Structure 1
Amino acid sequence: MREPDMQKLDELVGRLVNDIGASMSGALVVLGDQIGIFKAMADGTPRSVADLAAKTKVRERYMQEWLSAQAAAGYVTFHEETDQFSLTPEQAMIFAEENSPAFFVGAFEVVQSVWMDEPRIAEAFRTGKGVGWHEHSTCLFRGTERFFRSGYNAHLVNEWIPSLDGVEEKLKKGANVADVGCGHGASTILMAQAFPASRFTGFDYHRPSVERATAAAKDAGVANRVTFRQSAAGEYPGHDYDLVAMFDCLHDMGDPVGAGRHVKDTLARDGTWMIVEPFAHDRLKDNLNPVGRVYYGASTMICTPASLSQEVGLGLGAQAGEMKLRKVALDAGFTHFRRAAETPFNMVFEVRTQTH
């Protein structure tokens, strides 16, 4: 065995110290969110430990330690001259403002579920079997909805839908839309709020998610135009849909080609299949970056086990890339496949059987 390069060893140890700190900070973010500390600091007013402890009804000694740790992470701001703590506007957008386009707390809840569910994934590694979404901790469902909702708030209505040929015009006039793999319904409800002339049906195989989405639609005041139903992606009912959307879920499916064939059968003649998937390049070496690191981790612990738990078990993974996704669409019988939009976290594809 070669002798280690001590400089490289020190650099790796330094990265590990940062990663351990990030892991600890993530748990504290979830804790602060659950207790309501971030919301109590949302207005940006500097407050003492005692003030924040009283406002959130927690013990002062715990508050001191939590604030100190978050200040060390750069997640809250410490004012040395007054011995107070606050959130900057940027920190508030990320940790306290639920509907902010940069809200990030949900991502930490996803990480929480990964730690909780690790024994199940370890067993799947040994047996080769999968782990379905419904077998994960409930914080995965909540975290996924809260995290992805911020991206949808930022891009779905103003960027992604306008990037699809003719779709925005149809939605404004009144279209029939299916949101397949809708989860808690964040994407479905957002589209319904933006396009009041259209009708929307969200489908998901997970009944508790369907129930949560139904309640969310009622709370949002769109229940008269939005329906949620339990159904697998390859079996959802209906036909002549002007738009079938799949947000960050195609790669989780055991048989994405079969799901695509069902989309083709249920679309209107000039309908569009919108596929939103995690951003990825086609070659592994091009994904070895911070975003790829997050997505490969999630794919290992969540997405690939989900696919392998189902029939066919294609196991695309969260870093499938455009070439593999294109092949899925073409194998399903579509002839038009175009990358319509992208962000650092997502790719949006327009899929049809004919061009306009």
Structure 2
Amino acid sequence: MTVNPEMLNFHVERLFADLSAGYGGVMVSIGTKLGLYKAMEAQGPMTSVQIANRAGCAERYVREWLNSQVAGGYVNYHPAEDLYEMTPEQAMILVDDTSPVYLPHAWQVVASMWADEAKAIEAIRTGRGVAWGDHDGRLYCGVAAFFRNGYSASLVQEWLPALDGVVEKLERGARVADVGCGHGHSAVMMAQAFPNSTFYGYDVHEGSIDEARKVAAAAGVSERVTFEVADASGYAERDLDLVCFFDCLHDMGNPVSAARHARSALAKGGSVMLVEPAAEDRVEDNINPIGRLYYAASTTLCCAHAISENGTHVLGAQAGQRRLSDVFADAGFSGLAEATRTPFNLILQAKA
């Protein structure tokens, strides 16, 4: 076989860019935890000494860190004056933890994947699973924080209104289950927006349920939002107006059982809201950075948990609407309709 030098260089450059991004993720995490980004927010051009002093860090380290940020395009540099500056757009991504595009926490998921590399290798070699609760602790906080801001920007404002007849019920007073609730941010957001409704959150991971209760208490909605350790086929509430699965159904080994249980728990006229990672039905249509991210996470996290449950399916994070529709058809629903979508998510509705 003859090696094409141009193609070789193309692939080397692409892999090296990925390697650079991996190093850059460590820098983002360090900068966030040390308050270096925060020290630059809305300050205009600054010297490395000023930034180090504001963050309470050693200047020589900070200068090198700043140069890594400049090289990555995360911070601007003024060479004539040797000054560094953070723009408002950069601050939305790196400083404002309420912004829908705030991303530093996402690198905690990557860190957990590296920490669990040996588990992933063993799982892939043997075909055994790795349960969600058996991963490095940074996974749970990283996932919760990563999805929280996207939900905050879209769940109440866009996704729920896109569902047929759901907002009206929530305004009057509905009973809602959040299955696979994680740290409970989605249930709490809905409770804050719809004070006449009652919410029940369920997750198999006890540590996440403990954290969800704290989130609800801090938001002042504990009287209307309760959390319990239960799997998707084991919660007892009935006559529910809405059952939600936020970015979790594809992790389940028995998604048909989960959908069937949701159907049995719904009141007449109730709905399932299914939020899943954005994906087309064919691999060739998912060749993009988002598809790459989700396939990678699916390899070590989503498929691993589904396999650990010894279930009927291993959907993966890029299941696509056709396979999800098949799940709901097998569960007895007449259809699964797309309500809306974002670059990151599909928002689907199934009616009882």
> Is TM > 0.5 for Structure 1 vs Structure 2?
yes
The answer on 1:118 being equivalent to 2:121 is no
Deviations 1:139-198 (A, max 9, x none): 111111111112112211111101111001111111111111111111111111111111
The CA deviation at 1:44 is: 4.4
Contact in 2 for aligned 1:184/1:209 (Cα 8 Å): yes
State the identity %: 47
CA–CA separation in structure 2 for the residues paired with 1:320 and 1:95: 30
- Name the stretch that deviates more: 294-303 or 188-197: 188-197
Partner of residue 198, structure 2: 199
* TM value normalised by structure 1: 0.96
Name the aligned partner's letter for residue 186 of structure 2: S
> How much is the aligned-residue C-alpha RMSD, in angstroms?
1.2
CA contact (8 A) 2:123 2:304 kept: yes
Normalised by the size of structure 2, how large is the TM-score?
0.97
The residue aligned with 2:88 is 89
Equivalences for residues 1-356 of structure 1 within 5 A: 2-312=1-311, 314-353=313-352
- In 1, the alpha carbon distance for the partners of 2:183 and 2:175 equals 20
Given that 2:213 and 2:227 are in contact with CA atoms closer than 8 Å, whether structure 1 keeps it comes out as: yes
Partner deviation per Cα, 1:258-278 (whole Å, 9 max, x = no partner):
111110111111110000000
2:116 is paired with a residue whose SS is: helix
Q: Could you tell me how far apart the structure 1 residues matched to 2:308 and 2:43 are? A: 46
- DSSP-derived class of the 1:193 partner: helix
- 1:313 Cα offset (Å): 5.0
Deviation readout 1:64-103 (Å, 9 max, x if unpaired):
1111111110112222233222221111111111110111
For residues 228-248 of structure 1, the C-alpha deviation after alignment (integer angstroms, 9 at most, x for no partner) is 111111111211111110100
- Contact 2:105 2:142 (8 Å CA) reproduced: yes
> 1:46 aligns to what SS in structure 2?
coil
- The runs of 5 or more residues in structure 2 that have no matched partner are none
**What per-residue deviation string (whole Å, max 9, x for no partner) do you get for residues 212-231 of structure 1?**
11111111222222111111
Give the match's secondary structure for 2:222: coil
Q: Describe the superposition over 1:291-319 as per-residue Cα deviations: whole angstroms up to 9, x where unpaired.
A: 11111111111111011010315110001
Number of corresponding residues:
352
Match of 2:336, SS state, is: strand
CA contact (8 A) 2:44 2:85 kept: yes
Letter in 2 for 1:155: S
Superposed CA offset, 1:12-67 (max 9, x none) = 11111211110000111111112222222233433221122222222211111111
Q: Distance in 2 between matches of 1:42 and 1:226?
A: 36
CA distance in 1, matches of 2:83, 2:136: 36
Contact 1:253 1:313 in 2 (8 A): no
Q: Distance in 1 between matches of 2:300 and 2:43?
A: 36
- Are 2:325 and 2:335, in contact at CA under 8 Å, matched by a contact in 1? no
Which moved further from structure 2: 273-282 or 305-314? 305-314
Secondary structure of residue in 2 paired with 1:218? helix
Residue aligned with 2:49, SS: helix
Distance 1:180 1:138 in 2: 21
CA distance 1:313–1:127, shift in 2 (3 Å): farther
User: Using the alignment, how far apart are the partners of 2:303 and 2:151 within structure 1?
Assistant: 23
2:258, 2:163 → 1: CA distance? 21
Q: Which amino acid aligns with 1:64?
A: R
2: CA distance, partners of 1:73 / 1:250: 36
Stretch of structure 1 that moved more, 161-170 or 50-59: 50-59
SS in 2 for 1:336: coil
Q: State the Cα distance separating 1:111 from its structure 2 match.
A: 1.1
Q: Is the 8 A contact 2:253 2:305 kept in 1?
A: yes
The 3-state SS of whatever aligns with 1:274 is strand
Distance 2:160 2:98 in 1: 19
Q: Provide the C-alpha distance between the structure 2 equivalents of 1:61 and 1:180, rounded to a whole number of angstroms.
A: 48
Aligned partners of 1:42 and 1:97 also within 8 Å:
no
Deviation of the 1:3 alpha carbon? 0.8
